[in-house]
Amino acid sequence: MRNGLDQFPLLPQQLDHYIGGRFVPSQSGERFANVAPAPDQAFGDVALGAAADVDAAVAAAHEAMAGPWGRSTAAERARILRKVGDLIVEHGEELARLETTDTGKPMAESLTGDIARAAANFRFYSELSAHQSAASYVGEDGTHHVSRREPLGVVGLITPWNLPLYLATWKLAPALAQGNAVVLKPAELTPLSVLALMPLLAAAGLPKGVVNIVQGLGAESAGEALVQHTGVSAISFTGETGTGEHIMRAAAPTLKKLSFELGGKGASVIFADADIEHAAFQAARAAFRNQGQVCLAGSRLLVQRSVYAEAVARVLDATMKIKLGDPLAEQTTMGSLISREHRQKVMGYVDAGRREPGVEVLCGGRVPPSLPIGAFYEPTILSGVRQESRLIQEEIFGPVLTVQAFDNEDEALALLNGTKFGLSCSIYTQDIDRAQRMASRARMGLVWINTWFVRDLHTAFGGMKRSGLGREGGQYSLDFFSDFKTISTAVAAHKRSL
Ligand code: NAD
């Protein structure tokens, strides 16, 4: 059943797994319905993977490693990666429409965000891997030591639904640059865009079996089978903190290398000396981009009391300008949440929160009456929320912003650091010393000063505390996907002296 999928030529006839260079159904024959969130419509049925499919994918990946790919040079791989980046740009419009249809995010965001970044991931790692050097050292006795990188072998990638192609390519590009073969399990809610990438990888010259996709669920299914597989050397996972904990336990018997990018509870911190207009605009953007379904979202707003009224009024003003509507429409700046189930979870937080003493709903808190079909939810701002509230302590992952006031830096830091998460924050101030003090004391993996979501692919990406394990990005990803081997060679003079 293809339903509306005919409009996407990159997609295969059947939404299957991709194993050994072919689209193949599940060995069990089972499938699951894929539902596009706006307007909640069945959007093809997808192969439901299980352990047997993961076995087949891992075997295909090992076969690829035993072939020319396993002997490929960094320069050869870099050429393929560059070509993939070019092909993503060439097919950008189709990929963006596909991503928007599958996720409900605005088309402009898919095009200039997700898809542009997917291409950038391949181009960046094409460059970086082509210019790597080995560390070499000549010992006192003349022995020549070289520490060099080798691929890990077959690696597993597990990705979430909020940035499907962007996050898949964020892991794929460095894994391939480093010469590994891959088994990727995309999120069950967004299985499509990585499938559409497969013909582009083949067209760029990637040999069969180097990238394999197994569709399906996570727990007690394809995801878990991948994590527990003895033929998989590493898992790079992005998703919820609770899932990360589960994966760590499940992976333990096979002693895999693990990289975790987990949940966040970011904050925008506005000091009285900030450019309030700019800070408020950025804070609204940080809270509501991608319907608030961003790990780096600034879902908390902390404002110094003397400018609280002004800053909150400006954030409200920026929020009112958001155009909620059909994700494919050009003017839309906020689309649908990923599913009705997820919206139910988001609403549950807001409805419980608004019953807490002192909490005031400043805007939103409703399903928009004009958009009854789909999983739309109004951008919502709540004030008067206590630090212990679940609204502050848990990741809602929706368009919900809480506002809190503080008097001084220490108080701001206590609020900022007062959750189990440690992924990201933005500090708004014109005092450079204060900005640096705050940045040093924030227990966050990413700190922006006077901005939000500015990413450079060279830099380390990841969270402190319960927001992650290890770092990805730039050289960090290449290190994760590498094994290191030191080869020590005795030189002739040294051998004679023995
Ligand atoms: P999730 O943890 O529910 O699922 C993520 C992936 O893991 C999916 O492919 C899922 O099928 C799979 N999975 C689930 N249980 C599994 C298991 N037991 N074993 C193996 N695989 C399993 O997360 P989600 O709801 O898809 O995504 C939202 C979460 O992702 C949020 O918490 C968000 O903060 C986080 N996220 C983090 C980053 C980051 O870089 N830190 C980026 C994007 C999203």
Is 267-449 the same fold as 5-262+467-485? no
Domains in the chain: boundaries:
5-262+467-485, 267-449
Pocket flag, ligand 1, residue 465 (CB < 6 Å): no
Under the banding of pLDDT at 50, 70 and 90, the label for residue 6 is: confident
Average pLDDT over residues 267-296: 98
CA proximity to 188, closest of 221, 161, 228:
161
Gap from CA of 242 to ligand 1 centroid (Å): 9
CA proximity to 235, closest of 114, 58, 99:
58
Gap from CA of 245 to ligand 1 centroid (Å): 11
State the pLDDT at residue 271.
98
State the pLDDT at residue 263.
98
- Residue nearest atom 23 in ligand 1 by C-alpha distance: 239
Gap from CA of 278 to ligand 1 centroid (Å): 32
121-137 burial, b if ≥16 CB within 10 A, otherwise e?
bbbbbbebbbeeeeeee
Pocket flag, ligand 1, residue 49 (CB < 6 Å): no
Does the pLDDT of residue 497 top 60, yes or no?
no
Gap from CA of 162 to ligand 1 centroid (Å): 9
Does 425 qualify as catalytic in the annotation?
Answer: no
State the pLDDT at residue 319.
98
Give the global pTM. Answer: 0.97
Stated length of the chain: 498
Does the pLDDT of residue 39 top 90, yes or no?
no
**DSSP labels, 108-141:** HHIIIIIIHHHHHHHHHHHHHHHT---EEEE-TT
Between β-strands 135-138 and 144-151, what pairing exists: parallel, antiparallel or unpaired?
A: antiparallel
Pocket flag, ligand 1, residue 158 (CB < 6 Å): yes
- Residue nearest atom 20 in ligand 1 by C-alpha distance: 223
Using most ligand atoms within 8 A of CB, pick from 105, 194, 240, 346 the residue to mutate for ligand 1. 240
State the pLDDT at residue 109.
97
Contact 235, 152 (CB under 8 A): no
Q: Which residues contact 218 (CB under 8 A, 6 or more apart)?
A: 158, 185, 188, 224, 239, 243
Which residues sit opposite 472 in a β-bridge? 461
In angstroms, the CA 274 to CA 268 distance is: 12
Average pLDDT over residues 50-60: 98
Contact 170, 472 (CB under 8 A): yes
For the four alpha carbons of 397, 400, 401 and 402, in that order, the dihedral sign comes to: negative
In angstroms, the CA 489 to CA 498 distance is: 14
Cis ω on the peptide bond leading into residue 39 (within 30° of 0)?
yes
Pocket flag, ligand 1, residue 397 (CB < 6 Å): yes
State the pLDDT at residue 496.
57
Which residues sit opposite 149 in a β-bridge? 484
Gap from CA of 397 to ligand 1 centroid (Å): 12
Of 188, 224, 295, 472, which residue is the catalytic one?
295
Gap from CA of 479 to ligand 1 centroid (Å): 22
Contact 159, 166 (CB under 8 A): no
Gap from CA of 270 to ligand 1 centroid (Å): 30
Average pLDDT over residues 111-138: 92
State the pLDDT at residue 1.
40
Contact 180, 157 (CB under 8 A): no
State the pLDDT at residue 4.
73
Pocket flag, ligand 1, residue 422 (CB < 6 Å): no
Does the pLDDT of residue 409 top 90, yes or no?
yes
Which helix H or strand E contains 398, and what residues bound it?
A: none
Q: What is the mean pLDDT of the chain?
A: 96
Per residue in 425-458, pLDDT (tens digit) is: 999 999 999 999 999 999 999 999 999 999 999 9
Does the pLDDT of residue 17 top 60, yes or no?
yes
Does 356 qualify as catalytic in the annotation?
Answer: no
Contact 88, 275 (CB under 8 A): no
- Residue nearest atom 22 in ligand 1 by C-alpha distance: 218
Does the pLDDT of residue 495 top 80, yes or no?
no
* pLDDT more than 90, % of the chain: 92
Rg (CA), the chain: 24
- Residue nearest atom 35 in ligand 1 by C-alpha distance: 239
Pocket flag, ligand 1, residue 247 (CB < 6 Å): yes
Pocket flag, ligand 1, residue 263 (CB < 6 Å): yes
Does the pLDDT of residue 44 top 90, yes or no?
no
For the four alpha carbons of 396, 263, 158 and 11, in that order, the dihedral sign comes to: positive
Q: Report which ligand 1 atom has the smallest distance to the Cα of 160.
A: 26
- Top CATH class, 5-262+467-485: alpha beta
In angstroms, the CA 335 to CA 325 distance is: 6
Per residue in 245-270, pLDDT (tens digit) is: 999 999 999 999 999 999 999 999 99
**DSSP labels, 404-468:** EEESSHHHHHHHHT-SSEESEEEEE-S-HHHHHHHHHH---SEEEES-SS---TTS-B--EETTE
In angstroms, the CA 225 to CA 217 distance is: 10
Does the pLDDT of residue 40 top 60, yes or no?
yes
Yes or no: domain 267-449 corresponds to CATH 3.40.309.10: yes
State the pLDDT at residue 132.
75
Helices (H) and strands (E) in the chain, counts: 17, 22
Structure tokens at 132: 């790597």
End-to-end CA distance of the chain: 73
Residue 363, SS3 per DSSP: strand
Pocket flag, ligand 1, residue 295 (CB < 6 Å): yes
Between β-strands 400-406 and 300-304, what pairing exists: parallel, antiparallel or unpaired?
A: parallel
Average pLDDT over residues 256-285: 98
In angstroms, the CA 398 to CA 94 distance is: 26
Using most ligand atoms within 8 A of CB, pick from 228, 259, 295, 465 the residue to mutate for ligand 1. 295
Average pLDDT over residues 463-472: 98
Gap from CA of 207 to ligand 1 centroid (Å): 29
Pocket flag, ligand 1, residue 160 (CB < 6 Å): yes
Ranges of beta strands (E only) in 250-348 are 257-261, 267-270, 300-304
* pLDDT more than 70, % of the chain: 98
Structure tokens at 285: 């953007």
Within a 10 A sphere around the Cβ of 29, how many other Cβ atoms?
8
Per residue in 206-237, pLDDT (tens digit) is: 999 999 999 999 998 999 999 999 999 999 99
Does the pLDDT of residue 493 top 70, yes or no?
no
Of 109, 188, 261, 378, which residue is the catalytic one?
261
Per residue in 162-180, pLDDT (tens digit) is: 999 999 999 999 999 999 9
Between β-strands 154-158 and 181-185, what pairing exists: parallel, antiparallel or unpaired?
A: parallel
Average pLDDT over residues 187-206: 97
Average pLDDT over residues 89-112: 97
Does the pLDDT of residue 133 top 80, yes or no?
no
